[in-house]
Amino acid sequence: MAELDIRISDPAGFCWGVERALEVARTAAEEAEGPIHTLGPLIHNPAVIADLERRGVEVLGDASEAREGTIILRSHGVPREVREELSRRPVNVLDATCRFVKSAQERAAVLHASGYLVVILGEKEHPEVLGLRSYAGPDSIVVEKPADLPAELPNSRVGVVVQTTQSQERLADLAAHLAPRVKELLVYNTICNATQQRQRAAISMAKEVDLVIVVGGRNSGNTRRLAELCAEVQPRTHHVESAAEIDPQWLSGAGIVGITAGASTPPEQIDAVVRRLKEITS
């Protein structure tokens, strides 16, 4: 098999928010006294979570389980009531929430307090969106596409916030559908810069290659979105969590392979994919 031309999208992999969250967790593992837990997985990457567990940082499923030691708030943020509950417990809380997620929470709170019906563009069960809803009010609506909107909106004043890993195209589509239906529409584009940069770079790369490998956790919203966007441009797109998942048959007839990775994917996982591709074609 001829030597592959392997291209890595730039940027790809860890974003600033994920790097900061990992720094918080790893520093706590070295310095904090007593048990150390994250409230839910710190980031959506199984291999990274396994590494943190080896360092003594374990995952708690619920704030009610936090009884002592250090609790790290995940990069996706937590609902407002969870923060309040933790403040009443004898634990040391370290906040690793991404600054873009915090900004979205603040925007949602302001919209709700100002009397707007808050529409959240995002995945209903994603932890970031569950956190956003706690700030957006009980009447807030979560949609993944305009078709998810109710036939009748209970308020003519609507404010939109966005899960930070959504795409600009989805936001534009939602805004276009809402505008004719309301008297007042306020849209906060809370998609993070890192997401936008990775999506633009990945789409550009996908147009120039014969095959795309997207690396990252399947539970990672931003990684799945990269795979979806790349597949729209290059149908030969595959999402893998590890290099071991790569099927040599995927490379049949491919001279140029592009690699991109979600914001929660460490560089060593990207490097492993490159090595695997070279092994297959050597």
How far the first Cα of the chain sits from its last, in Å, is 7
Q: Are residues 89 and 146 in the same domain?
A: no
Q: Are residues 267 and 207 in the same domain?
A: yes
- Among residues 65, 80, 98, the one where a domain terminates is 98
User: Per-residue pLDDT averaged across 138-150, rounded?
Assistant: 97
Check pLDDT > 90 for residue 77: yes
Q: Are residues 81 and 105 in the same domain?
A: no
Q: Are residues 119 and 181 in the same domain?
A: yes
% of the chain at pLDDT higher than 70: 99
Q: Are residues 88 and 107 in the same domain?
A: no
Tens digit of each residue's pLDDT (9 = 90 or more) over 160-183: 999 999 989 999 999 999 999 999
Q: Which residues are catalytic?
A: 128
- Among residues 176, 191, 206, the one where a domain terminates is 191
Check pLDDT > 90 for residue 121: yes
Up-side HSE of residue 181: CA atoms within 13 Å toward CB?
Answer: 16
**SS3 letters across the chain:** CCCCEEEECCCCCCCHHHHHHHHHHHHHHHHCCCCEEEECCCCCCHHHHHHHHHCCEEEECCHHHCCCCEEEECCCCCCHHHHHHHHCCCCEEEECCCHHHHHHHHHHHHHHHCCCEEEEECCCCCHHHHHHHHHHCCCCEEECCHHHCCCCCCCCEEEEEECCCCCHHHHHHHHHHHHHHCCEEEECCCCCHHHHHHHHHHHHHHCCCCEEEEECCCCCHHHHHHHHHHHHHCCCEEEECCHHHCCHHHHCCCCEEEEEECCCCCHHHHHHHHHHHHHHHC
Supply the pLDDT for residue 254. 95
Supply the pLDDT for residue 282. 85
Q: Are residues 153 and 86 in the same domain?
A: no
- Among residues 38, 72, 98, the one where a domain terminates is 98
Tens digit of each residue's pLDDT (9 = 90 or more) over 22-64: 999 999 999 998 999 999 999 999 999 999 999 999 999 999 9
Q: Residue 6's pLDDT band (boundaries 50, 70, 90)? A: very high
Supply the pLDDT for residue 135. 98
CATH number assigned to the domain comprising residue 84: 3.40.50.11270
pLDDT: which is higher, 146 or 193: 146
- pTM, two decimals, is 0.88
Q: Are residues 66 and 110 in the same domain?
A: no
Q: Residue 3's pLDDT band (boundaries 50, 70, 90)? A: confident
Tens digit of each residue's pLDDT (9 = 90 or more) over 186-221: 999 999 988 899 999 999 999 999 999 999 999 998
Q: Are residues 160 and 142 in the same domain?
A: yes
% of the chain at pLDDT higher than 90: 93
Report how far residue 113's alpha carbon sits from residue 92's, in angstroms, rounded to the nearest whole number: 30
Split into its structural domains, the chain has a count of 3
Q: Are residues 248 and 228 in the same domain?
A: yes
Q: Are residues 187 and 237 in the same domain?
A: no
Q: Are residues 121 and 136 in the same domain?
A: yes
Q: Are residues 201 and 271 in the same domain?
A: yes
CATH number assigned to the domain comprising residue 158: 3.40.1010.20
Check pLDDT > 80 for residue 1: no
Looking at the DSSP bridge assignments, the partners of residue 126 are: none
Check pLDDT > 70 for residue 2: no
Supply the pLDDT for residue 200. 95
Check pLDDT > 90 for residue 248: yes
Domain residue limits at 48:
16-98
Supply the pLDDT for residue 111. 98
What Cα–Cα distance (Å) separates residue 141 from each residue in 121, 124, 271?
Answer: 9, 9, 40
